[in-house]
């Protein structure tokens, strides 16, 4: 989608001059996210029926790489909103009208949503207590990327207590609601500008009408499988974009010695491997994928391959750049640290291999 890529380029242009400063300060990438909001990039997945561009996951994944080459934190922060909107659009196209207000809010009001699934995943710890008309929810949501700019959290809470088989509600929660607060906690080695702070819920009322889905505590069930269809291509195209940007910066430095040809060839090999993995899984899934375990395993395998490639690119890229890149903060240093964050989204590579083996053997996946 040429228009979406053009808009992504404009977001990258807005974000790039501030990327190193936000990394040094550990401050939120407000310029890039504001551009993504104002230019309509964050609303791109909204279906055309509702006034949006109707961008699909593969198109958003391509655009993410453009932004990530300039500023990984801006791209990763955007990804945590985009995959939520992509999943809602997928549901809308299949006739689920529950998500229509959310999609209209994303398009008409340019609302930004923050997801908390990376921390909650199969076992959310926030507790929902039944009350008249809905629930009272208390808990802490960590790693809530893009939260400094968000208006709504899309999150989970377990009813009564977190035990196997308990029911979990999925709901949208205005961050301006009584009892909701943001606590600045994000101070990481990489992706320092994502604003991945904590959202704290203290006896917050959630009306039954705010609940958009239900799932089971401790299980890798349909809502999480739907989320995975859209999250991992968008998130891991971001890391691929950072890796591409790192290699571009290193090669453009003009300081590469002829003896480094093999290392540069190795960088090229890792980039190709990551691209092949991402492109292949998107081709296999198609534009209207099903939330199956087979597709989940395929996405996790892609995620593992891209992660390994990015870690290798970070090491070799720093070696080729030389000691000058190590001695002070700057694009090479920032990007090598940003790539480390790819290791920490669920699930780890070894768990992915266990899941793939369990699936091939006809066993249920252990969600732990």
Radius of gyration of the chain (CA): 20
Average pLDDT over residues 92-121: 92
SS3 238: helix
Q: Give CATH superfamily name and number for 2-111.
A: Acyl-CoA dehydrogenase/oxidase, N-terminal domain (1.10.540.10)
pLDDT of residue 104 exceeding 80, the answer is yes
pLDDT of residue 327 exceeding 70, the answer is no
pLDDT of residue 117 exceeding 90, the answer is no
8 A C-beta contact, residue 305 and residue 277: yes
pLDDT of residue 325: 75
Separation CA 40–CA 45 (nearest Å): 10
**pLDDT band (50, 70, 90) for residue 74:** very high
Fold of 222-360: Butyryl-CoA Dehydrogenase, subunit A; domain 3 (1.20.140)
pLDDT of residue 368 exceeding 80, the answer is no
In tens, the pLDDT along 154-173 reads 999 999 999 999 999 999 99
Average pLDDT over residues 191-214: 96
8 A C-beta contact, residue 111 and residue 339: no
Residues of the chain with CATH 1.20.140.10: 222-360
- Among residues 169, 168, 136, 174, the alpha carbon closest in space to that of 153 is found at 174
Least-confidence region, from 56-65, 254-263, 280-289, 344-353? 254-263
**pLDDT band (50, 70, 90) for residue 299:** very high
Fold of 115-216: Butyryl-CoA Dehydrogenase, subunit A; domain 2 (2.40.110)
pLDDT of residue 326 exceeding 90, the answer is no
Give the containing element (helix H, strand E) for 180: strand 180-183
Task: List C-alpha distances in Å: 11 to 156, 192, 327.
Answer: 31, 18, 29
Average pLDDT over residues 278-293: 97
Please provide the DSSP assignment of 115-157 as one string: E-HHHHTT----EEEEETTEEEEEEEEEEETTGGG-SEEEEEE
For 360, the token pair is 């091939």
pLDDT of residue 130: 96
pLDDT of residue 225: 96
167 phi and psi, to 5 degrees?
-85, 140
pLDDT of residue 257 exceeding 90, the answer is no
Higher per-residue confidence, 255 vs 4? 4
Higher per-residue confidence, 335 vs 330? 335
**pLDDT band (50, 70, 90) for residue 323:** confident
Looking up tokens 């943001």 gives 182
Give the containing element (helix H, strand E) for 113: strand 113-115
Determine how many CB atoms are found less than 10 A away from the CB of residue 362.
6
8 A C-beta contact, residue 22 and residue 52: no
**pLDDT band (50, 70, 90) for residue 236:** very high
8 A C-beta contact, residue 45 and residue 218: no
pLDDT of residue 315 exceeding 80, the answer is yes
pLDDT of residue 328 exceeding 70, the answer is no
Separation CA 222–CA 196 (nearest Å): 26
pLDDT of residue 262: 96
- Among residues 171, 173, 175, the alpha carbon closest in space to that of 211 is found at 171
pLDDT of residue 120: 80
Least-confidence region, from 118-122, 139-143, 255-259, 262-266? 118-122
Residues of the chain with CATH 2.40.110.10: 115-216
**pLDDT band (50, 70, 90) for residue 256:** confident
Separation CA 40–CA 111 (nearest Å): 10
pLDDT of residue 330: 87
Separation CA 90–CA 87 (nearest Å): 5
Residues of the chain with CATH 1.10.540.10: 2-111
- Among residues 137, 130, 182, the alpha carbon closest in space to that of 157 is found at 137
Separation CA 331–CA 268 (nearest Å): 19
Share of the chain above pLDDT 90, in %: 92
Separation CA 298–CA 228 (nearest Å): 11
Looking up tokens 């490639």 gives 309
Cα angle 134, 138, 141 (rounded to 5 degrees) comes to 120
8 A C-beta contact, residue 60 and residue 45: yes
**pLDDT band (50, 70, 90) for residue 363:** very high
pLDDT of residue 70 exceeding 70, the answer is yes
For 12, the token pair is 């990258």
**pLDDT band (50, 70, 90) for residue 270:** very high
8 A C-beta contact, residue 149 and residue 174: no
8 A C-beta contact, residue 103 and residue 47: yes
Task: List C-alpha distances in Å: 236 to 54, 63, 86, 141, 242.
Answer: 21, 12, 15, 22, 10
pLDDT of residue 367: 80
């Amino acid at each position: 989608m040429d228009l979406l890529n053009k808009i992504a380029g404009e977001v990258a242009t807005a974000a790039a001059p501030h990327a190193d400063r936000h990394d040094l300060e550990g401050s939120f990438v407000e310029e890039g996210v504001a551009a993504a909001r104002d230019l309509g990039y964050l609303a791109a997945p909204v279906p055309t029926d509702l006034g949006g561009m109707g961008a699909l996951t593969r198109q958003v994944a391509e655009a993410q790489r453009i932004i990530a080459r300039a500023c990984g934190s801006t791209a990763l922060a955007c990804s945590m909103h985009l995959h939520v909107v992509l999943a809602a659009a997928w549901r809308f196209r299949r006739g689920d009208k529950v998500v229509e207000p959310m999609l209209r809010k994303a398009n008409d009001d340019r609302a930004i949503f923050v997801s908390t699934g990376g921390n909650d995943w199969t076992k959310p710890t926030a507790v929902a207590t039944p009350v008249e008309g809905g629930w009272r929810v208390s808990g802490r949501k960590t790693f809530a990327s893009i939260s400094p700019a968000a208006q709504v959290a899309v999150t989970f809470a377990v009813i009564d207590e977190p035990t196997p088989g308990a029911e979990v509600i999925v709901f949208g929660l205005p961050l301006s609601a009584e009892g909701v607060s943001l606590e600045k906690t994000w101070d990481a080695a990489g992706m320092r500008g994502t604003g991945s702070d904590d959202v704290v819920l203290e006896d917050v009322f959630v009306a039954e009408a705010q609940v958009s889905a239900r799932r089971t505590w401790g299980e890798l069930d349909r809502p999480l499988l739907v989320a995975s269809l859209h999250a991992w291509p968008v998130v891991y195209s971001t890391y691929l974009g950072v890796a591409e940007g790192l290699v571009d910066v290193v090669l453009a430095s003009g300081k590469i010695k002829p003896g480094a040809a093999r290392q540069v060839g190795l960088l090229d090999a890792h980039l190709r491997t990551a691209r092949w993995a991402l492109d292949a899984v998107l081709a296999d899934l198609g534009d209207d994928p099903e939330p199956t375990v087979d597709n989940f395993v395929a996405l996790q395998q892609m995620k593992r391959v891209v992660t390994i490639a990015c870690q290798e690119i970070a090491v070799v890229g720093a070696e080729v750049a030389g000691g000058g890149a190590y001695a002070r903060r700057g694009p090479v240093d920032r990007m090598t640290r940003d790539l480390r964050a790819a290791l920490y989204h669920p699930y780890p590579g070894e768990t992915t291999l266990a899941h793939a083996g369990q699936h091939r053997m006809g066993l249920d996946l252990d969600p732990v």
